[in-house]
Homo-oligomer: A and B are copies of this chain.
């Protein structure tokens, strides 16, 4: 393993992105995201993702110097047209107006359109909770997941994320795929020649299967049966047609076998406790703390608790990445 400080890792990410011709706003937004993933122990959303970013750029599937365009759509709505750039850059440009609107209206939404997406949603959620706002986010992906009772892929892994501000403490945050597991988990089983547990997927004939290869050619399943499937459909609708952007099936069709990162939209909603509660806000936010204490007191974990612990370690000690990944990243500098 190679050990790096977070600053060193950030410099490496910045150098790679600059080397491949990304505009400076893209460089900064994408570097911050992948370093945050590595810092929080989420290797699957860490600097490894730079390999996919560069491959997507080389395939001509992301615009390296896109200038996101902000549209003040309605008193409670911001739209950002990413113009084919990465979602993180569009989010950074749209965030200030979303925050302003949430504070003025009490609730506001940010729709990001025509972006290339690979980020975990918690990165954006935490930028909203840092402003003292409650946040929701959802995005489709590529059509890999069958609806409950269905036989063919239609939904993406369609993550849903939520955040609740806790003042100086780390926020209450969750961010999960509505698929039973991440697609990468099934790919990992395939590479290792291991069977997957029942409930993760079906084969191309729509039959339950524990063969990872058959499921990757068939369809993944949602978590939680028909309830998870209903949520996956909701994500398609809210972060697809409602914002005038692609569903997971349309995004996969557009990809046309290039295996690039998904290209579509994202919806974020921000709610301002101060606007809901006025002078009583502090008192009611304290009641949320009572709820969190009750969860922890019975030995259960808050979502993201492990991630925040990893963050503390990484801030103090830096991170360790494998020699092979480090070598692959260095190659991108050549």
Q: Which A positions have Cβ atoms within 8 angstroms of B?
A: 73-77, 79, 104-109, 111, 134, 146-152, 154, 162, 164, 172, 174, 176, 206, 223-230, 233-234, 236-238, 240-244, 247, 249-250, 269, 271, 273, 275-277, 280, 284-285, 287-288, 290-291, 294-295, 298-301, 303
How distant is the Cα of A46 from the Cα of B280 in the complex, in angstroms?
A: 37
> In whole Å, how far is A116's beta carbon from the nearest beta carbon of chain B?
20
Question: A300 touches which one: B149, B241, B291 (CB < 8 A)?
Answer: B149
**Chain B nearest CB, measured from A241 CB (Å):** 4
Q: Which residues of B contact A149 (CB under 8 A)?
A: 299-301
> A233 contacts B172, CB within 8 Å?
yes
Contact B238 A134 (CB under 8 A): yes
Q: Given A269-B107, A275-B73, A275-B77, answer yes or no on A227-B176 (Cβ-Cβ < 8 Å).
A: yes
Residues from chain B with Cβ under 8 Å of A233 in the complex: 172, 174, 291, 295, 303
Known: A109-B276, A223-B225, A224-B227. 8 other contacts (CB 8 A): A76-B108, A77-B105, A151-B298, A223-B227, A237-B291, A242-B277, A247-B290, A247-B291
Q: For residue A74, which residues in chain B have a CB less than 8 angstroms away from its CB?
A: 104-106, 275-276
